[in-house]
């Protein structure tokens, strides 16, 4: 018959704080003896220990589902460093119980006390650990005050133990822990069962927090459904310093084309999320990068800064695919899969522009405001923007890409928020136009109407009253895709007087009719022509 030892948790902690007492307790339990250390009084420490315990158990998290997440991280932490094969965590939710099970190392009795029972053990600097016991585990004991019981069974291959936690009342000093030595089994791992606890939308909560967790570290299942599907991660090793000791750890980056968010993770758990415009990133910081006390921000220190530098090296590895068009093909395939074929012409022209915007959005998520802060920015520019001279906003690019088509390969476009990053390093829209064409002074309606005697090839257009405020004549390239450019923000038409279609009087009347139709529809509000739609309509006139 296995021996069981039932004591108040605060007493277990008090007895275990003394190293001599702890050795005696472990020896007694391993040999099935009565624990002699229990005869010593710890009354003087009980009040203080109860206060610490209250902070760890009751006040640690406001979200009642967060302790489940912490238990999962503990399970991940139990993964052996030399583990071969697939490491898994299984979460099983039933009507009256929730189980979390891993195939990790399990815990011998000494580790149960050092890492699980003593919440403020100074040895828990756990740089190699993820959510190593203690802090996360103690938060789950709060469930005991709602009538639940928490049962932990752990098998290390040489030792097996069962721990039962329950509370006799709502008082923190009513928490009990019962230790029972079990028959040793060879299969290692730890299993935690929480009885009588219920959570609403637990699966959704866990998926939202763990979907970005690196699948190569652990596969996490909820009722046999995987929560963190396999993704391609890019990793760089970084040497970090904790209290004068150096540790080699890894910072990892994952690009998610299907999710427009940047997710910054601490050991796989989301700390900060930022909405993006095109595709998303997940960045997983290693354990040596600490969080502030509230656990909602990273502590900005040397370790954090070193990791941020390595993130952009990971991005460099990813962007190398551009050289073989792999990235372009991935993005186009993704949007086809999403049923967004209408964007294909933009995607084919703008893959590099997408990536340029995403680079700055990633930088902004780290608080970076200048490209010069990114140590490998020149390498990233070479990969992304070789041969580029001009940076445009997306609206400027779409407005001008057919009108200035012979020169558009010199330009890339970014979102307005990203534009401020790039404008110091590249020439802007105004220079793009003036460097490659000659723009005449802006004309009023009456001035445009008087053009017939000056430009015979604009004779028909000049005699008409286009519903437009301003007109600009441009001496541009003869072979551009479009002879017109319309700025719907300023109601201005630009006409390339060198264009072959403008010079051909037989096409001018047709062009005019199409322009009038577009302006009339826009004025009546029947159809809003974005820049690309306007260019498409103008293309039919050519």
Comparing 219-233, 242-256, 271-285, 321-335, which segment has the lowest mean pLDDT?
Answer: 321-335
pLDDT at 340 over 60: no
Does 153 fall in a domain?
Answer: yes
More confident residue, 459 or 47: 47
Does 259 fall in a domain?
Answer: yes
Q: Are residues 292 and 174 in the same domain?
A: no
pLDDT at 5 over 80: yes
Q: E strands along 436-536, which residues?
A: 438-439, 470-475, 484-487, 492-496
pLDDT at 536 over 80: no
Which of 226, 245, 267 corresponds to the end of one domain?
Answer: 226
Does 431 fall in a domain?
Answer: no
Does 131 fall in a domain?
Answer: yes
More confident residue, 149 or 465: 149
Q: Are residues 221 and 263 in the same domain?
A: no
Which of 226, 245, 261 corresponds to the end of one domain?
Answer: 226
Q: What is the pLDDT of residue 323?
A: 67
Q: Are residues 34 and 155 in the same domain?
A: yes
CB of 526 within 8 A of CB of 475? no
pLDDT at 399 over 50: yes
Rounded to an integer, what distance in angstroms lies between the CA atom of residue 399 and that of residue 143? 60
Count of domains in the chain? 3
pLDDT digits (tens, 9 = 90+) for 84-133: 788 999 999 998 899 999 998 888 999 898 888 876 554 444 444 433 33
Q: What is the pLDDT of residue 347?
A: 52
* Sign of the CA dihedral with 130 first, then 132, 136, and 137 last: positive
- Return the HEC string of 497-530: CCCHHHHCHHHHHHHHHHHHHHHHHHHHCCCCCC
Q: Are residues 114 and 170 in the same domain?
A: yes
More confident residue, 483 or 296: 483
Helices (H), ranges, 224-343: 302-319, 326-337
pLDDT digits (tens, 9 = 90+) for 466-520: 556 688 888 888 888 888 888 878 888 888 888 877 766 555 544 544 454 444 4
pLDDT at 465 over 80: no
Comparing 373-382, 458-467, 475-484, which segment has the lowest mean pLDDT?
Answer: 458-467
Q: What is the pLDDT of residue 322?
A: 73
Does 409 fall in a domain?
Answer: no
Please report which confidence band the pLDDT of residue 530 belongs to, taking 50, 70 and 90 as the band edges: very low
Does 413 fall in a domain?
Answer: no
Averaged pLDDT, 408-416: 91
Averaged pLDDT, 60-66: 83
* Sign of the CA dihedral with 313 first, then 314, 315, and 320 last: positive
Q: How many percent of the chain have pLDDT more than 70?
A: 79
Rounded to an integer, what distance in angstroms lies between the CA atom of residue 57 and that of residue 97? 20
Comparing 172-176, 240-244, 265-269, 446-450, which segment has the lowest mean pLDDT?
Answer: 446-450
Q: Are residues 246 and 354 in the same domain?
A: yes
Q: What is the pLDDT of residue 398?
A: 85
Averaged pLDDT, 126-143: 62
Q: Which of 426, 466, 475 is nearest to 448 (CA)?
A: 466
Does 420 fall in a domain?
Answer: no
Which of 226, 255, 277 corresponds to the end of one domain?
Answer: 226
Q: Which of 245, 243, 212, 244 is nearest to 230 (CA)?
A: 212
Question: For the domain that residue 48 is a member of, what is the CATH number?
Answer: 3.30.565.10
Averaged pLDDT, 337-349: 52
Q: Are residues 209 and 271 in the same domain?
A: no
- Strand 219-222 versus strand 189-195 pairing type: unpaired
Instruction: Report the mean per-residue pLDDT for the chain.
Output: 81
CB of 319 within 8 A of CB of 331? no
Q: Are residues 105 and 218 in the same domain?
A: yes
Q: What is the pLDDT of residue 378?
A: 96
Q: Are residues 288 and 197 in the same domain?
A: no
Does 411 fall in a domain?
Answer: no
In degrees rounded to 5, what are phi and psi of residue 176? -115, 155
Please report which confidence band the pLDDT of residue 180 belongs to, taking 50, 70 and 90 as the band edges: very high
Q: Are residues 185 and 253 in the same domain?
A: no
Contacts of 174 (CB under 8 A, 6+ apart): 8, 167, 168
Q: Are residues 54 and 178 in the same domain?
A: yes
Domain span at residue 493 reads 437-541
Please report which confidence band the pLDDT of residue 427 belongs to, taking 50, 70 and 90 as the band edges: very high
Q: Are residues 348 and 307 in the same domain?
A: yes
pLDDT at 82 over 80: no
pTM score of the predicted model: 0.71
CB of 175 within 8 A of CB of 9? yes
Contacts of 492 (CB under 8 A, 6+ apart): 442, 468, 469, 470, 471, 472, 486
pLDDT at 176 over 90: yes
Q: Are residues 378 and 256 in the same domain?
A: yes
């Amino acid at each position: 018959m296995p021996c069981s030892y039932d004591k108040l948790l605060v007493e277990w902690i008090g007895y275990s704080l003394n190293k001599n007492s702890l050795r005696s307790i472990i020896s007694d339990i391993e040999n099935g003896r009565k624990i002699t250390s229990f005869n010593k009084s710890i009354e003087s420490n009980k009040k203080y220990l109860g206060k610490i315990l209250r902070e760890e158990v009751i006040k640690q998290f406001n979200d009642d589902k967060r302790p489940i997440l912490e238990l999962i991280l503990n399970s991940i932490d139990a993964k052996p460093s030399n583990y071969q094969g697939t490491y898994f965590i299984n979460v099983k939710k039933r009507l009256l119980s929730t189980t979390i099970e891993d195939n990790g190392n399990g815990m011998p009795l000494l580790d149960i006390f050092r890492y699980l029972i003593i919440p403020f053990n100074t040895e828990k600097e756990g740089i190699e650990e993820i959510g190593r016991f203690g802090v996360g585990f103690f938060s789950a004991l709060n469930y005991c005050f709602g009538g639940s019981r928490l049962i932990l069974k752990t098998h290390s291959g040489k030792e097996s133990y069962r721990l039962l936690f329950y509370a006799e009342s709502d008082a923190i000093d009513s928490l009990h822990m019962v230790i029972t030595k079990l028959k040793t089994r060879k299969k290692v791992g730890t299993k935690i069962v929480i009885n009588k606890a219920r959570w609403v939308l637990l699966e959704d909560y866990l998926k939202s927090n763990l979907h970005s967790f690196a699948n190569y570290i652990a596969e996490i299942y909820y009722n046999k459904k995987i929560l963190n599907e396999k993704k391609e991660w890019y990793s760089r090793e970084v040497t970090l310093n904790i209290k004068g000791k150096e540790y080699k750890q890894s910072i990892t980056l994952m690009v998610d084309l299907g999710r427009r968010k940047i997710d910054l993770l601490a050991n796989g758990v989301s700390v900060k999320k930022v909405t993006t415009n095109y595709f998303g990133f997940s960045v997983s910081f290693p354990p040596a990068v600490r969080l502030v006390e509230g656990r909602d921000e990273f502590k900005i220190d040397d370790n954090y800064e070193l990791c941020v530098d390595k993130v952009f090296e990971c991005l460099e590895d990813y962007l190398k695919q551009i050289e073989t068009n792999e990235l372009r093909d991935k993005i186009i395939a993704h949007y086809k899969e999403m049923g967004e074929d209408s964007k294909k012409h933009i995607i084919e022209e703008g893959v590099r522009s997408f990536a340029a915007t995403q680079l700055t959005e990633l930088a902004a998520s780290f608080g970076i405001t200048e490209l010069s802060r990114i140590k490998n920015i020149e390498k990233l520019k070479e990969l992304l923007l070789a041969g580029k001279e001009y940076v445009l906003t997306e609206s400027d690019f779409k407005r001008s890409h057919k009108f200035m088509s012979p020169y558009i390969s010199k330009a890339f476009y970014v979102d307005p928020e990203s534009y401020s990053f790039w404008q110091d390093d590249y020439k802007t829209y105004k220079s793009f136009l003036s460097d490659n064409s000659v723009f005449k002074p802006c004309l009023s309606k009456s001035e445009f109407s008087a053009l017939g005697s000056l430009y015979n090839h604009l004779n028909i257009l000049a005699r008409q009253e286009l519903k437009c405020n301003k007109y600009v004549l441009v001496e541009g390239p003869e072979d551009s895709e479009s002879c017109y450019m319309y700025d719907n923000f300023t109601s201005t038409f630009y006409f390339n007087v060198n264009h072959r279609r403008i010079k051909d009087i037989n096409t001018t009347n047709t062009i005019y009719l199409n322009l009038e139709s577009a302006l009339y529809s826009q004025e009546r509000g029947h159809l809003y022509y974005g820049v690309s739609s306007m260019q498409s309509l103008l293309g039919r006139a050519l």
